[in-house]
Copies of this chain bind each other. A is one copy, B any other.
Amino acid sequence: MNPLDQIETPVVLIDEKVLDANIAGLAASSASRGISLRPHVKTHKVAQIAAKQLAAGASGITVATVGEAEVFADHGVADIFIAYPLWPDELLLRRIIALGERIQLRIGTDSVEAVSKLASFSAVGGRVSIELDSGHHRSGALTGEVLSIARAGRSAGVLIDGLFTFPGHSYAPGASVSAAAGESAALGQAAALLEADGFTVRHLSGGSTPTAQETTIAQEIRSGVYVFGDAQQWELGRAEPADISLTVLGTVVSRHDGDPALRRVVVNAGSKVLGSDRPNWASGFARLLDHPAARVSVLSEHHATVLFPPQTPLPALGERLRLVPNHVCLTMNLVDRVLVRKTDGTLTDWTVVARGRNS
């Protein structure tokens, strides 16, 4: 009997063999291009996976929150970049100073107001990177604002040592080339301005998973999703089904074969385990790894409604199906443990140690 038949569903299932291949693949391609890889661990939040990435040559890790940084530091990671424009209020400043005393720590900023508060962090060796808006229009300074932020930091005694950007607009069909060009332009222009003003720019950090292969200037990339792949990457043509290492195993609980326009099964994996990100260009709320023609047309908290086209077999009640989440970073933040099919075929589980560490 398949040992997976004895597991309660829904469950997040990781295939270690595919995971290892993904980690080795980006490590090799980054190394061959002379680019430093600092993977974003918000995607997985798992100590064992960060350890694999570091063993494969990652220069350190990237996180989004101070809480994630604290957890990974507790698990032995010694070099962390919080790629986020932190607002250093009294509580948060105390935490980043304490962390800066323990590990190599770099944080983000995008305003004169924030950078001016960071002198006590730099006093313990903490480094600060200025975030640029390279076209995503979320956080990040415009090129024209960078110099005033850097100078405010210098006046306050803050160690400004580089620039970073997140080309989030790359996550759309056909967008990765122009997003990578925007990223390269923003980093290059801002670096030139800083160096002309006497700053030493020690790092230029960029690179989402879609742009990682196309950036021309970033010295460091922070890809996250590449370890697992997801339905977004699949539909963007950035991952093949064989590259997807994470699925949510669910069970068919309801089956309706009467109406040709609504031939469907309902799987017991909903938004509370898959997450509910659905970009406009996505074909549904998730994909099925073994049924590429099926579409998850509606996603409720505990129901994935999966439409099957005419002439395709409709899975049976009780059958188990592997769902590929649209955005895998959300999936990992929903579960406390994941099931792992190890390279030797046995099963184990890993704890999602940084789950829910939003602050």
Write out, one digit per residue, whether chain A residues 57-79 have a CB within 8 A of any chain B CB (1) or not (0): 00000001100000000000000
> Does A113 contact B277, Cβ atoms closer than 8 Å?
no
Q: How far is the CB of A15 from chain B (nearest CB, A)?
A: 20
Assess whether B302 is in contact with A64, with CB atoms less than 8 Å apart.
Answer: yes
Given contacts A276-B277, A318-B89, contact A139 B254 (CB under 8 A): yes
A85 proximity list for chain B (CB < 8 A): 253-254, 266
Query: Which of A89, A252, A254 is the most central at the interface, judged by chain B CB atoms within 10 Å of its CB?
Result: A254
In the assembled complex, how far is the CB of residue A71 from the closest CB belonging to chain B, in whole angstroms?
Answer: 14
Query: From A252, which residue of chain B is reached at the shortest CB distance?
Result: B87
Evaluate whether A317 and B251 lie within 8 angstroms (CB atoms) in the complex, with A138-B303, A358-B273 already known: no
Asked if A173 is an interface residue, CB under 8 A from chain B, the answer is no
Contacts of A335 in B (CB 8 A): 356, 358
**Which chain B positions have C-beta within 8 A of A266?**
85, 138-139
Q: Which residues of B contact A318 (CB under 8 A)?
A: 87, 89, 113
Q: Mark A248-259, 1 if CB is under 8 A from B, else 0.
A: 000111110010
Residues on the B chain within 8 Å of A278, using CB:
278
Q: Known: A268-B87, A318-B89. Is A305-B138 also a contact (CB below 8 A)?
A: yes
A207 at the interface (CB under 8 A from B): no
Closest to A259 in B: B137
Residue of B nearest to A336 (CB): B356
Are A110 and B258 in contact, with the CB atoms below 8 A? no
A139-B303, A302-B64 given; A358·B111 CB < 8 A: no
With both chains docked as a complex, state the minimum distance between the C-beta of A256 and any C-beta of chain B, in angstroms: 8
| Residues of B close to A81: CB separation below 8 A | none
Cβ of A101 to closest chain B Cβ, rounded Å:
19
A264 to B133, CA, bound (A): 13
> Per a CB cutoff under 8 Å, which of B6, B111, B336 touches A317?
B111
Give the interface segment out of A47-55, A175-183, A326-334: A326-334
Q: Is A298 an interface residue (CB 8 A)?
A: yes
- In the bound complex, how far is the Cα of B84 from the Cα of A267, in angstroms? 12
| Interface hits, A292-347 → B, CB 8 Å | 298, 300-303, 305, 317-318, 329-330, 333-336
Instruction: Contact check, A89 vs B271: say whether CB atoms are below 8 A apart.
Output: no
Least CB distance from A124 to B in Å reads 20
User: Which listed residue, B92, B253, B277, touches A87 by the CB 8 Å rule?
Assistant: B253
Min C-beta distance of A169 to chain B, whole Å = 10
Q: Assess whether A9 is interfacial by the CB under 8 Å rule.
A: yes
A/B interface sample: 12 pairs, CB < 8 A: A42-B301, A65-B302, A85-B253, A85-B254, A85-B266, A87-B268, A89-B251, A111-B254, A137-B262, A138-B300, A142-B258, A278-B278
Residues of A within 8 A of B (CB): 6, 8-11, 42, 64-65, 84-87, 89, 91-92, 110-111, 113-114, 137-140, 142, 168, 251-255, 258, 262, 264, 266, 268-273, 275-278, 298, 300-303, 305, 317-318, 329-330, 333-336, 356, 358-359
Other 18 A-B pairs with CB < 8 A, given A138-B300, A138-B303, A301-B333: A6-B91, A8-B92, A9-B359, A65-B302, A84-B302, A85-B266, A87-B317, A89-B251, A111-B254, A137-B264, A142-B258, A268-B358, A271-B275, A271-B277, A272-B330, A273-B358, A334-B334, A335-B358
